[in-house]
């Protein structure tokens, strides 16, 4: 949907209302930024761009701005940012029901969705464009980040890519910012390596969530303990609430390997939506732990996730919990 809206705008095809809502701010910000800086020419912007912020905006002032006619231009743009913080936002429904064709009204309504049963929702669907954004799935993050890297004219090796995504998590805006930082720091070079992730983003290439996962998958106890000790000395490097979900995601896929009905890595990778490059890691973990072992690991991860937030635990530190968990996993 976002690509269609951008394509329409670039062709000069506009609807009078765009309501951008949902849980992924990256896509909303992309459209709002384009509307603010690209729809109008530089000479038109001074008279025909109006920006409101929901916390400070009065609904009547917003409606009055939308009802103005453009000056020395074919259209005007009115932006309502952070609309989720606006009082009486339902009162703009009267304008949405009868909008001015020369006004492009773009509403940014982040982290929320308008009630689908409300009159406002029904009017939006009839008179404007309602875009509801969703977080992309975690297993789609590497491909998304890789495409972002390519858009900057760069390449990245798979290990560096996983280090980047595992460190940042499902935060598209931050991933984009870090890739832009890398692009600046690389200079004339075009390929991003693990050293670049370590030097410019601050993720150790030896002591990170991916290496922790690798150590457990390979039953390398001494390596796992060394990484935990590094995390203990550097608490911000990988807090336990980052490590446990990553391990659960990995071993959930390992668990699914047993039900794939095939021993062919490419077939399993396609069935599970896994990058074939990493398939050998899942297969090795499956061999090392067996069905019962992986099932036990998933139960242990659930148990230690609860203990990490104080359930059935008297205050054991994160490093202590992880060491105890790894011993049980590999025993």
Q: What does the DSSP assignment read for 194-237? A: HHHIIIII---SSSSHHHHHHHHHTT-HHHHHHHHHHHHH-TTT
Residue 224 pLDDT > 90, yes or no?
yes
Task: Assess if CATH 1.20.272.10 describes domain 209-330.
Answer: yes
Q: What does the DSSP assignment read for 80-145? A: EETGGG-TTGGGGHHHHHS--TTEEEEEEEET----TTSHHHHHHHHHSEEEEE-PPPGGGHHHHH
Q: Mean pLDDT, to the nearest integer, of 61-76?
A: 96
Cβ proximity of 156 and 186 under 8 Å: no
| Average per-residue pLDDT for the chain | 92
CA distances from 31 to 1, 25, 39, 246, 273 (A): 11, 10, 11, 31, 29
Q: Mean pLDDT, to the nearest integer, of 225-231?
A: 95
What residues are paired with 22 via a beta bridge?
110, 133
Angstrom distance (rounded) from CA 316 to CA 313: 7
What pLDDT does residue 313 have?
Answer: 87
pTM, full prediction: 0.77
- Residue 327, Cα to own-chain centre: how many angstroms? 33
Residue 84 pLDDT > 90, yes or no?
yes
Q: Report the number of secondary-structure helices (H) and strands (E) in the chain.
A: 16, 7
Q: Mean pLDDT, to the nearest integer, of 286-292?
A: 94
pLDDT tens for 145-196 read 999 999 999 999 998 998 899 888 889 999 999 999 999 999 899 999 999 9
Which of the following CATH numbers is that of domain 2-133: 3.90.1150.10, 3.40.50.300, 3.40.50.2000, 3.40.640.10? 3.40.50.300
How is residue 59 written in tokens? 């609904």
Every domain of the chain and the residues it spans: 2-133, 138-201, 209-330
User: Which fold would CATH assign to domain 138-201?
Assistant: Helicase, Ruva Protein; domain 3 (1.10.8)
Residue carrying the six token digits 């009065």: 58
Supply the DSSP symbol for 325: H
pLDDT tens for 252-277 read 999 999 988 778 888 888 888 777 87
What pLDDT does residue 314 have?
Answer: 83
What pLDDT does residue 260 have?
Answer: 83
CA distances from 137 to 152, 155, 169, 202 (A): 23, 22, 11, 25
Residue 81 pLDDT > 90, yes or no?
yes
Residue carrying the six token digits 């975690």: 138
What pLDDT does residue 139 have?
Answer: 79
Angstrom distance (rounded) from CA 204 to CA 166: 12
pLDDT tens for 102-116 read 999 999 999 989 888
**Higher-confidence position of 275 and 212:** 212
Q: Using alpha carbons, select from 206, 254, 246 the residue that is nearest to residue 228.
A: 206
């Amino acid at each position: 949907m976002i690509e269609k809206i951008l394509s329409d705008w670039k062709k000069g095809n506009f609807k009078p209302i765009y309501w951008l809502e949902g849980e992924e701010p990256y896509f909303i910000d992309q459209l709002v930024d384009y509307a603010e800086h690209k729809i109008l020419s530089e000479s038109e912007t001074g008279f025909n761009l109006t920006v409101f912020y929901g916390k400070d905006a009065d609904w009547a002032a917003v409606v009055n701005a939308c009802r103005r006619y453009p000056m020395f231009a074919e259209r005007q743009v009115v932006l309502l940012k952070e609309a989720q913080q606006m009082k009486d936002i339902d009162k703009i429904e009267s304008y949405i029901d009868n909008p001015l064709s020369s006004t492009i009204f773009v509403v940014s309504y982040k982290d929320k969705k308008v009630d689908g049963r409300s009159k406002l929702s029904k009017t939006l669907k009839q008179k404007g464009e309602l875009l509801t954004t969703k977080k992309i799935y975690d297993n789609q993050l590497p491909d998304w980040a890789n495409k972002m890297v390519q858009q900057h004219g760069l390449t990245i090796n798979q290990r560096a890519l996983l280090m980047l995504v595992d460190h940042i998590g499902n935060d598209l805006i931050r991933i984009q910012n870090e890739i832009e930082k890398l692009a600046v720091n690389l200079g004339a070079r075009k390929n991003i390596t693990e050293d670049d992730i370590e030097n410019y983003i601050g993720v150790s290439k030896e002591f990170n969530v991916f290496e922790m996962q690798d150590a457990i998958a390979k039953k390398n106890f001494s390596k796992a303990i060394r990484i935990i000790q590094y995390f203990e000395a550097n608490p911000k490097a990988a807090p336990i609430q980052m490590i446990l979900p990553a391990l659960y995601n990995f071993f959930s896929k390992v668990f699914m390997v047993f039900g794939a009905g095939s021993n062919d890595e490419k077939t399993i990778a396609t069935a599970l939506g896994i990058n074939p490059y990493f398939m050998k890691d899942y297969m090795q973990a499956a061999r090392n732990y067996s069905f019962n072992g992986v099932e036990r690991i998933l139960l242990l991860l659930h148990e230690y996730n609860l203990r990490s937030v104080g359930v059935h635990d008297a205050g054991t530190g994160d490093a202590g919990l992880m060491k105890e968990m790894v011993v049980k996993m590999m025993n």
